[in-house]
Amino acid sequence: MAGSRAASAREPGQVREEAALSDTARAPRNSLAGAKDRRARSEADFKEGCTVHFSLMADADNLDLARRLVDLWNAGDIDGVVDLYTEDAAMIAGADWPEQSEYRGHAGVRANIEQWRSVWEASRIEAERIEAHGDRVVASGAWITRGRVSGIEGDMPFVVLLTVRGGKIAVLEWFTDHDEAVAAARAA
């Protein structure tokens, strides 16, 4: 990618995003099944493109899903947030999370959101890192909140691990440590 920063200076996941968005990744898809072996032959051309299967495209879609979740939350679009989840979705508090709870399905996701919003007069997400690991996405940052009763403003760090299925969030797990969430994402 001409003109871009060295790979070591990029944000986590940025190389995957750039590759997924490159012209090469968007080349027309044609199957090479049954095609003649064209290696080292001067008549070989790829005007019609070639089939290259990248999990990077899925990674880019999953990163976009996480960003839409943040955008919809910050816009206060609860219906939009709930629609990002599968019908059988689960929201699970991690082992180190202060309040152990689990919510299931659209009704559970909505109940969790309403419970959270009932405590805060204002609540928005600032995602600092979003990185894809196959069908899993780790996002970390801070909740920027203002208490409903106290009026006190503050920020609270968060780390979530999203498991994506069929373009929707199937599982959201809360973590208190970014590295632990990444390890869980990679272990799957």
52-71 per-position pLDDT tens digit: 434 455 678 999 999 999 99
Instruction: Give the model confidence (pLDDT) of 130-171 as tens digits.
Output: 999 999 999 999 999 999 999 999 998 999 999 999 999 999
**Hey, what domains does the chain have and what are their CATH numbers?**
55-187 (3.10.450.50)
| Alpha carbons 135 and 133: distance in angstroms, whole number | 6
pLDDT band (50, 70, 90) for residue 107: very high
State the pLDDT at residue 101.
82
State the pLDDT at residue 138.
97
Query: Where is 16: in which H helix or E strand?
Result: helix 14-21
| 87 φψ region: left (φ > 0), alpha (ψ -120 to 50), beta (else) | alpha
Query: Which range is least confidently modeled, 39-48, 145-154, 179-188?
Result: 39-48
State the pLDDT at residue 91.
94
- Report the pLDDT averaged over residues 113-121: 88
Residue given tokens 């559970």 in the structure block: 108
Cβ neighbours around 115 below 10 Å, total:
11
Give this prediction's pTM. Answer: 0.67
Locate 171 and state its tokens. 């599982």
Cβ neighbours around 101 below 10 Å, total:
12
